[in-house]
Amino acid sequence: MSEPSTPEPVISMRGATATLGARTVLRGVDLTVGRGEVAALLGANGSGKSTAVRSVIGQVPLTGGTVELFGTPLRRFRQWARVGYVPQRTTAAGGVPATIREVVASGRLSRTKLRLPGRADRAAVDRAIELVGLSDRAKDSVSALSGGQHQRVLIARALAAEPELLIMDEPMAGVDLASQEILAETLREQVGAGTTVLLVLHELGALEPLIDRAVVLRDGCVTHDGPPPEAMGQHALPGHDHVHPHAASEPARTGLLT
């Protein structure tokens, strides 16, 4: 459990503002994630948590503020193999059949780029599939999988590059309890190995023991940044973004606490 003030922040977002269409989604968000930290972004639907993580990896352009990854401004950041991304999806399938292995192998492209994959690359793909417990089904079509298994494939795809930073957008959405446990276990191993994690969550759920820090967004502003509040597990549902008594001692990044 590293302190939020770790010397080298992996993610450093300052005063980020962003709009989607005519709507302002982020209004000056500060977000710092230190090496080895596990941070959860929480908030109601439309609070801007998905936009915040997507702007960290350059998928939503910022209208103001700055983002740095591993100390490099996002505009000049090229070491994408250090980042594993799990987008918000309900399915890992496309318009053509593909096996679990084929989908997971595409995650290795951040390292292989345009060259052919070697033995080490194939081994990393196998390891990623094993980490999510799908080795016996590696040659099955992803379309034959359950919702939770789809999510496991998407996470294995992110792990195939052996990233130092894992960014996940609602990895637990639509995942049954058994798969949630497997995902939590996978994540625990990654965190144990020193991986930094930023995830968007609707509720802490099975991941609660892993999380060092919770950042709560409301209407595009940070309303809480500190240890996950005790009651968060049950109350991190839409409309339940109230701040608990002990949070008052935490630094409030904006003046918009309710």
Partner 1 sequence: MEFLTPPFMQRALVAAVLVGITAPAIGIYLVQRRQALMGDGIGHIAMTGVGLGFLLSTNPIWMATLVAVVGSVVMELIRWYGHTRGDIALAMLFYGGMAGGVMLINLSGTGSNANLTSYLFGSLSTVSEEDVTAIVVLAAFVMLVTLALRRQLFAVSQDEEFARVTGLPVRVLNLLVAVTAAVTVTVAMRVVGLPLVSALMVVPVAAAQQIAKSFKVTFVLAVAIGTAVTLAGTVTSYYQDVPPGATIVLLAIAVFIALTALATPLARRRARGRDKDSEECTLEVPVARPDADDVRV
Binder among 98, 145, 175, 187 for partner 1 (CB under 8 A): 98
What angle is formed at CA 45 by the lines to CA 40 and CA 50, rounded to 5 degrees? 50
Parallel, antiparallel, or unpaired: how do β-strands 72-73 and 64-69 relate? Answer: antiparallel
Residue 59 binding partner 1, by CB under 8 A: yes
Residue 81 binding partner 1, by CB under 8 A: yes
Count of positions on this chain that bind partner 1 (CB under 8 A): 34
Contacting partner 1 within 154-213 (CB under 8 A):
157, 161
CA distance 107 to 116: 14
Q: Which stretch binds partner 1 (CB under 8 A): 28-36, 53-61, 66-74, 229-237?
A: 53-61
Counting Cβ atoms within 10 Å, is residue 157 exposed (0-12), middle (13-18) or buried (19+)?
A: buried
Of the pair 26, 145, the CB lying nearest partner 1 is at: 145
Residue 87 binding partner 1, by CB under 8 A: yes
Binder among 113, 119, 194, 258 for partner 1 (CB under 8 A): 113
Of the pair 150, 218, the CB lying nearest partner 1 is at: 150
Parallel, antiparallel, or unpaired: how do β-strands 64-69 and 38-43 relate? Answer: unpaired
Binder among 89, 127, 188, 244 for partner 1 (CB under 8 A): 89
Report, in Å, the least distance between residue 143 CB and partner 1: 9
CA distance 156 to 135: 11
CA distance 8 to 10: 6
Q: Which stretch binds partner 1 (CB under 8 A): 25-33, 68-76, 81-89, 231-239?
A: 81-89
Site string for partner 1, 119-158 (x = CB under 8 A): --------------------xxx--x------------x-
- Report whether 69 contacts 83 (CB < 8 A): yes
Residue 234 binding partner 1, by CB under 8 A: no
Q: What does the DSSP assignment read for 174-239?
A: T--HHHHHHHHHHHHHHHHTT-EEEEE-SS-GGGGGG-SEEEEEETTEEEEEESPPTTHHHH-STT
| CB proximity list for 136: less than 8 A, separation 6 or greater | none
Q: Which residues are near partner 1 by CB under 8 A?
A: 57-59, 78, 80-81, 83, 85, 87, 89, 92, 94-99, 102-103, 105-107, 109-110, 112-114, 117, 139-141, 144, 157, 161
